[in-house]
Structure 1
């Protein structure tokens, strides 16, 4: 293998209005742990793997965009049990979308965090992801 190649995505930056509230929400609902806490940002990890960096944003910017009037996400989370996760998040009053099964492409649903950042959640057992 040659050196100097991209090996994957290390983490995504997510703007939030309240760093404390947002980090507590992610820890509670996804089991992330907090690292590298600074005045205006912090890292969220799953075990020893970086996932997100939350950045306190003074503006209304969010990790979401629109295509033909429909909201789209920037980040997709991966799970090995999407039905249980969806059920749990609904019980926790998290803003989640409907669960879709797209056969060979996997199962999906969307969710929003406290600030309206939109995420996709995906389960597909035919795809290799190294963690």
Structure 2
């Protein structure tokens, strides 16, 4: 009997204070579409690909962790044009860090959503990303 295999990550779940406000923020800034909306939970997709699930939480925990007292992200988004995305997000007053060019590893910047969840954004043209 052949055993099933993990084929990838279907989606990531992050906690938010206000599901409606957070969903609107992600739709506005990243063009995600909303699916599977329930009372305190919804899914964000890019076309037919699941990206994030938002769950309303009254707890202050967020999708971050610390190493040496520095906050780190748990989710990395992939982009095909990091410079224009970074410029756009800054113009929209989104909290973004500077673009860092790590040569053969690509370019990165960190952003923060309305709730303090951190995300890494990555551009790499020599990486095969199947989606």
Q: What TM-score, normalized by structure 2, do the two folds share?
A: 0.97
- 2:107 maps to which residue? 107
- 1:127 maps to which residue? 127
- 2:10 maps to which residue? 10
Report the CA distance between 1:3 and its aligned residue: 5.0
Structure 1, residues 45-98: CA drift from partner, whole Å, max 9, x if none? 000000000000010010001001011000000000000000000000000001
- 2:61 maps to which residue? 61
Report the CA distance between 1:26 and its aligned residue: 0.1
- 1:83 maps to which residue? 83
| 1:15-30 superposed matches below 5 A | 15-30=15-30
SS in 2 for 1:86: helix
Report the CA distance between 1:23 and its aligned residue: 0.1
Q: Once superposed, which parts of structure 1, at least 4 consecutive aligned residues long, lie more than 4 Å away?
A: none
Unaligned runs of 5+ in 1: none
Q: What TM-score, normalized by structure 1, do the two folds share?
A: 0.97
Unaligned runs of 5+ in 2: none
Aligned residues between the structures: 130
